[in-house]
Amino acid sequence: MHYMAPGGRKEPMRGLRLAVPVLAAIPLAGCELVGGIFKAGMWVGVIAVILVIAIVGAVATRLRS
């Protein structure tokens, strides 16, 4: 696609000037989202491990008595 610039000359891919920064910003937002998910996932994993250890401890205590 060609656009006519002032003075009558053609300016190919003028829309590319806007598209490149916009398209470059999209992955950055995705990286922040993935980072947040992994941080939340880490804490869920930590809590799950603590719960499993507590349950195993409770079962072991009941089996001994």
pLDDT in tens, 23-55: 777 766 677 777 887 888 888 888 989 999 999
Contact between 14 and 3 (Cβ < 8 Å): yes
Contact between 11 and 5 (Cβ < 8 Å): yes
- Per domain, the residue ranges of the chain are 2-64
Read off the pLDDT band of 10 (50, 70, 90). low
pLDDT at 65 > cutoff 70? yes
Cα angle vertex 33, ends 43, 41, to 5°? Answer: 15
Read off the pLDDT band of 18 (50, 70, 90). confident
Read off the pLDDT band of 3 (50, 70, 90). low
Cα angle vertex 22, ends 7, 10, to 5°? Answer: 15
Q: For position 5, what pLDDT does the model report? A: 56
